[in-house]
Structure 1
Amino acid sequence: MGEHYDVIIIGAGPAGLAAAFELSSISNLSILVMDEGQSIDERKCASVENLCIDHRTCNITHGSGGAGLYSDGKLCLDPKIGGDISRFYDESETKEMMRRVTDMLSMDSEPIRPAEPDKKNISSCVNAFNDIGLGFKYYDVVRMGLQSRVKSVEAIERYLHQKGVRFLFDTKAMGISSNDRYAVSTGSDELSCDYLVVAPGKIGSNWFDMQCRKLGIPLENNPLLQGVRLEMPRDITLKLSEITDNPRISMEFENGDYIKTHCFSDKGRVTIADYGGMKLVEGNYLENAESGNSSVNVVMRLNLPPYITPFTFSSGFIQLVNSFGKGRPVVQTVGDLSDFSETNPSALEDIALKPTLNDCRCGDLSKLYSAWFADRFSKFIQRIDLVLPGFADRKNLVFAPFFEWWMRKADVDRHFETRRPGLYAVGDGAGLSQGIIAAGMQGIACARGISDKSSGQKRFF
């Protein structure tokens, strides 16, 4: 048996870092944070600006700062977006926890505050979409560029080191066992703790699922979102981006089918994220290398039967798309997708729109996605085109695959403790959040629960 800690945190993403940040601030417990990826100083990814070079451990999905580090960098300052922490806490409590997360993210920079909303233009925008049968959601968003996010995580790491928190990077948690305390196997060693926080991130969701089955922790399916990423000249969405950094446009069909936009990126780029060998597309924003394009995910809700896990379904589909792309994502023009024809690479070079992701293969997504999805996708973007002319242009580009919410959801209490006393589950990988702020708030709540439990206190707020 290796070293013993009061608390071990598996995962150094927003949820794990926030748990360590809060615990080290309010307690004297010994804390270890472990992650399969690298520290922020070592975490570099060529695919953000060039081509994916297939690192053994993907630096987009692993490492200090989590997958959110190389995302589009949006901080959604609405506690009801990206998680369900509001089912446990009232508005004043969630706002206070959100402030703790933003304080952590801005400890070496200016405070994180949203811009003053343009209520008149927001109202006009809502009406314009509502008038054509589309939903439009506005919420406060702050966008951090990659360099700002890197500096933020560097500051968090320094702070935690100063508080005595130990980091163990480039180390995979192989398994969890429980007797009178928790043990985490790393393959070459076994670490023990009294309290275990599992914040595995999306990349660790299937591993977490297997550990929960072994430990008897109940899980349930989240609604799975399947989709693509749509890229276009930013002029098409310019007026919308001046109103909000993350517009949420949605459409519900008569039979209950639901489709929406997700993770809008103005002046950003499409990148590859490697989830255990599965190549997905994502959006990213580099403040020192802005593009002339905008892009957004278009996703559709899939309600799977309980005997099919979201990961099983999505991983099979991702591998299928990747096989068509010869190990890479697939790209196609909107026009070719509508015509059920494969996009020709030479034709792609002739269009005015220059793709920000070149590390992909041309293909025909109509052979991969269902006719049902293609129909809903086409009707949705054509409806948006009525407000944003050019949104459904035939020369716009569709990248695939993309999935969201493939994780199963753990059953937890208000401190995110599972039915196994002393074992806590937080963040995206536990199926409980989507996004940096939501995951961080769960880390804060979890840390307070551990602190109170270890000291025998009871927290009412």
Structure 2
Amino acid sequence: MKKKYDVAIVGAGPAGIFTALELTKKNDKLSILIIDKGRQIDKRACPARKTGICVNCDPCSIVNGWSGAGAYSDGKLSLGTEVGGNVKDYIGEEKTAELIKYADQIYLEFGAQKIVYGQNDKRVDEIMYEASKHNIQLIPCPVRHLGTEKAFDVLGGMYKRLTNHTKTEFRELTTVLEIICEQDKAVGLMLQTKGKEPERVMADYIVIAPGREGAQWLTQQARNLGIKTKNNAVDIGVRVEVPNSIMDHLTKDLYEAKFVYYSDTFENKVRTFCMNPGGVVSEEHYDGHIAVVNGHSYADEKLKTKNTNFAMLVSTTFTEPFDEPIKYGKYIAHLANMLTGGGIMVQRLGDLLKGRRTDYSRLGKSTTIPTLKSAVPGDLSFALPHRHLMSIIEALRAMDKVAPGLYSKNTLLYGCEIKFYSSQIHVNNNFETPIRNLYTIGDGAGITRGLMQASVTGIVVARDIIKKLRV
């Protein structure tokens, strides 16, 4: 491996990948190093996808490696500016829309499916009108669904393009010990590759795009460098699983129904997120040991299940003196893991409402058959704060008016689902930090919350670097 590069990118998720794609599109002579704590895409494998049992791989292949969590995600590309991040706050709505369209064309070039959901304006208006009767807001957003298997192929194609046809290198199983700066300018990285001695690598420009899994690491790096951070809302909740029959009338047109409800008791914002028709509930690990729940679905009709799953998240913004939102989220997840012996908990809504634990006998009576076979029956009230649990219950009750059957005793709730993108790093409109030539982008920087807007941040950074190189 070289010791000096034009650009070093930390994190091989969509933000990092699109940085490299745009850089090489503008100048294919640039030497680029991409670093990730996970493996290259062809080596990523999750045993639980076949066995249904998580074996605690280190690093977790679901969230680490080439294409980040996107490789095993449901592969939703949100094509609206209101969903998936706050990019428009930095570059404006018009520019954000333009770059979403541009990034979408790149995904299509690499094999993304052409169908887009949520474009039937009449049906969207009908659902929005019905939801408004019950104080529920529908956030309309066109969605291109890749599917888990297609997302793997599309992002894998990007790997081959970069590593086979440009001067881009990918270094797997590597962490960053330190961002090296000289006179308020980023000049290199201290790397630690598994099984090797620490190594110093220099670069003219450094792009930090670690994804959600690296959010806490990035926050610490920012503090070390004296870069200001701001706490975003902490999203903590559950993953809901119900039969397709309850959600089909929404998902067949929208694919993902993004609802927002403000709870009755605490007026907390509760939102639905990552809806997976015919999908599967899954388990993923952070920091090598914290288990959290997620979900995905395949594009292939033969692989679809009889259930739909989605996250129901409660958003809370903490104020001073508390400034550890990521640590707080991990603490909640750790409580749930303690109760299950390390895995994901599942509870029937009916049992939760009766104040009793779901056991294997009660779960066996459920007409909703769990798709995460390794989930351990339990009582979520011992892990989730009362405020969050009440807000989720009230939101489910309200949304039952739009999706009859949702507020059922056999609705399954998996815990906990937590999104680790809570610290927003101080950057300018090109996502450059106060330290010259150091950029930070994507979900881990608290700027985006999904594949598409993360990709857009990479494009913005690449164009800014190209502009500087030409001066």
TM-score > 0.5, shorter chain as reference: yes
Match of 2:245 in 1: 235
Give the one of 178, 193, 206 matched to 2:216.
206
1:47 aligns to 2:48 (yes or no): yes
CA distance in 2, matches of 1:302, 1:228: 15
Q: How many residues are aligned here?
A: 456
Kindly report which structure 2 residues correspond to 1:267-286, keeping only aligned pairs within 5 A, or say none: 267-276=278-287, 277-286=289-298
Give the one of 170, 183, 187 matched to 2:188.
183
Q: Secondary structure at the match of 2:176?
A: coil
Measured after TM superposition, the shift of residue 279 of structure 1 is 0.4
Q: Secondary structure at the match of 1:75?
A: strand
Q: Secondary structure at the match of 2:151?
A: helix
CA distance in 1, matches of 2:434, 2:82: 24
Q: Which amino acid letter does the alignment assign opposite residue 56 of structure 2? A: D
CA distance in 2, matches of 1:444, 1:332: 42
Contact 2:213 2:420 in 1 (8 A): no
Q: Which amino acid letter does the alignment assign opposite residue 299 of structure 2? A: E
1:390 aligns to 2:402 (yes or no): no
Contact 1:5 1:192 in 2 (8 A): yes
Question: CA 1:269–1:203 in structure 2 vs 1: closer, same or farther (change >3 Å)?
Answer: same
Q: String of CA shifts for 1:251-308, please: whole Å, max 9, x gaps.
A: 1246642112111110001000101111000011123421100011111111212333
Measured after TM superposition, the shift of residue 145 of structure 1 is 1.3
CA distance in 1, matches of 2:81, 2:166: 28
Q: Which amino acid letter does the alignment assign opposite residue 264 of structure 1? A: M
Question: CA 1:264–1:115 in structure 2 vs 1: closer, same or farther (change >3 Å)?
Answer: closer
1:357 aligns to 2:367 (yes or no): no
Contact 1:18 1:104 in 2 (8 A): no
Q: TM-score, normalised by structure 2?
A: 0.93
Measured after TM superposition, the shift of residue 405 of structure 1 is 4.8
Q: Which amino acid letter does the alignment assign opposite residue 311 of structure 2? A: N
Match of 1:459 in 2: none
Q: Which amino acid letter does the alignment assign opposite residue 190 of structure 2? A: S
CA distance in 1, matches of 2:139, 2:98: 23
Q: Percent same amino acid at aligned positions? A: 27
Measured after TM superposition, the shift of residue 172 of structure 1 is 1.6
CA distance in 2, matches of 1:413, 1:107: 30
Q: Which amino acid letter does the alignment assign opposite residue 306 of structure 2? A: G
Q: String of CA shifts for 1:350-388, please: whole Å, max 9, x gaps.
A: 322210101121111112222222222222111111221
CA distance in 2, matches of 1:280, 1:447: 33
CA distance in 2, matches of 1:368, 1:91: 39
Contact 2:36 2:64 in 1 (8 A): yes
Match of 1:106 in 2: 108
Question: CA 1:344–1:115 in structure 2 vs 1: closer, same or farther (change >3 Å)?
Answer: closer
CA distance in 2, matches of 1:122, 1:104: 27
Contact 2:10 2:16 in 1 (8 A): yes
Measured after TM superposition, the shift of residue 110 of structure 1 is 5.8
Give the one of 315, 323, 326 matched to 1:301.
315
1:423 aligns to 2:438 (yes or no): yes
CA distance in 2, matches of 1:374, 1:304: 18
1:170 aligns to 2:147 (yes or no): no
Match of 2:119 in 1: 117
Q: Secondary structure at the match of 2:299?
A: coil
Q: Secondary structure at the match of 1:287?
A: coil
1:19 aligns to 2:19 (yes or no): yes
CA RMSD of aligned residues (A): 1.8
Deviates more, 1:433-442 or 1:364-373: 364-373
Kindly report which structure 2 residues correspond to 1:12-411, keeping only aligned pairs within 5 A, or say none: 12-27=12-27, 28-49=29-50, 50-109=52-111, 112=114, 114-115=116-117, 117-161=119-163, 162-179=165-182, 181-187=186-192, 188=197, 189-253=199-263, 256-276=267-287, 277-288=289-300, 289-306=303-320, 307-411=322-426
Q: Which amino acid letter does the alignment assign opposite residue 239 of structure 1? A: H
Q: TM-score, normalised by structure 1?
A: 0.95
CA distance in 1, matches of 2:119, 2:102: 23
Q: Secondary structure at the match of 1:139?
A: coil
Contact 2:113 2:145 in 1 (8 A): no
Question: CA 1:25–1:111 in structure 2 vs 1: closer, same or farther (change >3 Å)?
Answer: farther
Contact 2:145 2:299 in 1 (8 A): no
CA distance in 2, matches of 1:222, 1:17: 25
CA distance in 1, matches of 2:451, 2:431: 17
Contact 1:222 1:405 in 2 (8 A): no
CA distance in 2, matches of 1:13, 1:314: 22
